[in-house]
Amino acid sequence: MADVNIQYVPPKPRPYGGFGTPSPTRAERGKQPLTIFLLFFFFFSNRELLQKPRNECTEYEIAQLEQWEFSNGPLSILQTAVRTHSQVLISIRSNRKLLARVKAFDRHCNMILENVKEMWTETPITNGKKGRPVNKDRFISKM
């Protein structure tokens, strides 16, 4: 689990301003400050909840805390990828990488992936010498 590295590959941003480019919608303009406000509000209104041991929390408080961790912790990258259907680059222990779309995941980082492209590098050995590294890849529809 500690050797897995997950990176979020965001979709290309829409250009704003200039001639012939679309301007942001009201929802796009207001999205960022509201998110920051909600983060600020939750953190400072529930600061004692974050510092409280889990065995002393009620079920409601634990549910609130888990939802906050999913939306703001390390798993928020996967949650964003599931919502936006964007690709994620996953580095695996065997020095291979997976470029895929995440369909679902759980808190243990078990994932259901689709449109997976597995990539790795092999160095062939000929006559006792290492050859030039060769990039290889394969496509897996569902994993």
| DSSP code string of 108-133 | T--EEEEEEEEEEEE--EETTEE---
| Domains along the chain with CATH numbers | 5-12+24-142 (2.30.30.100)
Confidence (pLDDT) at 77: 86
Q: pTM of the predicted model, to two decimals?
A: 0.56
DSSP secondary structure letter of residue 17: S
What is the spatial distance between Cα 76 and Cα 82, in angstroms, rounded to a whole number?
Answer: 10
State the pLDDT at residue 32: 47
Angle at 96 between CA 90 and CA 98, to 5 degrees: 35
- Give the number of other CB atoms < 10 A from CB of residue 87: 20
Name the pairing type of β-strands 97-105 and 134-142: unpaired
Q: What is the pLDDT of residue 101?
A: 94
In the prediction, which pLDDT does 137 show? 93
Tell me which residues of the chain have a pLDDT lower than 70: 1-3, 11-49
- Residues 32-58: tens digit of each pLDDT: 444 444 455 555 556 666 777 878 888
Instruction: Determine the pLDDT at residue 37.
Output: 47
Residue 12: per-residue pLDDT: 62
pLDDT reported for residue 25 = 60
Determine the pLDDT at residue 16.
Answer: 52
